[in-house]
Chain A
Amino acid sequence: MSTRNAPIVGDSFKLGYRFQRYWDTPMANAFFFGELGAGLFFVSLLLGFVPGMAAGIVITCILKTYFHVSHMGVPTKAWRAILRPDRSWISRGLLAIIVWSTFGALHVLNLWFGLEAALGFGPIIGGLIKLIAACAALVVMTYQGFAMSHSTAISLWSSGLMPVSSLVYSLTAGTMLTLVFGWNALLAGQLGLLVNAALLLLVVIAVVLLSLLHGAHHGSPGGRTSVELLLKSRYARYFLGAVWGTGLILPALLLWAGAGSYPAVIVAAIGMLSGYYAYRVLVFKAGVFEPIMSFRP
């Protein structure tokens, strides 16, 4: 069945493609801030940039939690979300956030106040804390992608590249933010490394996005419908303009040509984050369910 004879039907009683309408902007916000915070923490951790790590934890814990709760229908029971790590990526992710924020905070405190010395545990334990925080952060950076890819309902999402896209976007956002926050604190070599890493990551994002679209387009008619929405119709303006133009091409050009200038880096970061945010919103908006089946003889 081609997309042409089964239209997008809203909530009408026609057979056709239906927009998923359950994960919307608040959820996109939560995903965005979760990945952004974790990415910032992770990159900062690699560079030992303590304010970045702290900021990452704060962003995730406050903003992600806020938007999750505002999305959630029954926030008073929000705690229940951790009950099924055996099968739910949401539970796993939440547990990872708890682990990460706890161990990340311990790590930050350790670096700031020397907990190791104060509490008398050795560098092995300190290292372990760091490792756990790092691993948990990696989970937080990717689990939302897993949460999306894990179900086959929406072809655009049900791709192994979803967690990869989460990871690279998160890393890129973390890199860009670490650049911005650490411009005056980090060493020149570190800054150069970050710029190059960011450039590389932007290219990786582009490749991942292209593969994702390619996969969805060839995956199922629903996937093709989503891709058409993103590239040709309803959302093309935002997807091409914001996700690609502002979010990938602009920062890449700025980093490539103007890497020495702080304002250029700031603008690049804003552009990248806007594109990333648009991506987060648009993958939700362009998610469609397939018609349950066609009964044309």
Chain B
Amino acid sequence: MARYGMVFDLRRCIGCNACVVGCKQENTLPDGVFFTRTLSEEYGVFPAVNRVYIPTLCNHCEDAPCEKVCPSGATYTREDGIVMVDADKCIGCGSCAVACPYDQRTELSKDLFTQGLFGEGELTPFEEQGYSRFTPGMVTKCDFCSGRVDAGLDPACVVTCPTDARIFGDLDDPDSKASRLIRERGGRPPLPEKNTSPKVFYVD
């Protein structure tokens, strides 16, 4: 069984947020809701200054605090390591959201589904066809595009990334591009001190 993870190549990422929009259209995310974000950090003093772009998404932690605190059993981990939220079971208590050290949980408040993306109280046909995946009020997150992965496809944010800064793959396969990058360029997980064993790594 594969153990899926992602590597972000910070030298490649240009902070365009195409991944964010790609995810929004793949998953019909309401306004202001993100399963992935690319953050930027500026450092240094003129003229010795630079900016780094840091993509983030759910780390599909092996020791996932969000799962541990979930009282309803909605959050669970698939055999391949993808941490999922069952839209049928989630009660929207938000425990997972305050337990995730990476702020990767997002609440789909009910008004988002009535206001619509254009904020005019009316849903576009695109929204109509897509919002049925969610239970309004639930708390959810990136699921590594589990459906696409099951179909043998890369996640939506990965395929659209103009610079190939997102590398998805099987971390148990030493020959996967992701594993190789982690090995060769010293992949670092986010906030290791939180002891969550993220399956997302950064190389710079």
Contacts and interface: CB of A to CB of B under 8 A. Distances in A.
Given A74-B92, A74-B137, A294-B41, A151 B99 contact: yes
B101 interface: yes
Interface residues of B, number: 54
Interface residues of A, number: 47
Interface in B51-77: 52, 54, 56, 65, 67-74
Nearest to B65: A151
Interface of A: 5-6, 11, 13-15, 18, 20, 22-23, 27, 71-75, 77-78, 80-84, 87-91, 94, 147-148, 150-154, 157, 220, 287, 289-296
Interface in B111-139: 135-139
Interface string B10-41: 10000001000000000000001000011111
Given A74-B138, A295-B10, A151 B69 contact: yes
Contact of B70 (A88, A157, A295): A88
A96 to B, nearest CB: 12
A287 B100 CA distance: 12
B156 interface: no
B194 interface: yes
Q: Considering the complex of A and B, which 3 residue pairs feature the smallest CB-CB distances, nearest first?
A: A73-B92, A73-B137, A151-B99
B39 A15 contact: yes
A84 B101 contact: no
Contacts of A18: 103
A80 B89 contact: yes
B98 A72 contact: no
B191 A73 contact: no
B101 A290 contact: yes
A158 to B, nearest CB: 9
Nearest to B44: A296
A92 to B, nearest CB: 9
Given A77-B72, A81-B71, A88-B69, A295 B52 contact: yes
A73 B97 contact: no
Given A84-B70, A87-B68, A22 B98 contact: yes
A73 B102 contact: no
Contacts of A71: 93-94
A153 B99 contact: yes
Max chain B CB contacts within 10 Å: which of A83, A90, A290, A295?
A295
Given A13-B38, A152-B195, A90 B95 contact: yes
B168 interface: no
A88 B68 contact: yes
Contacts of A82: 71
Interface in B161-204: 188, 190-191, 193-196, 202, 204
Nearest to A77: B91
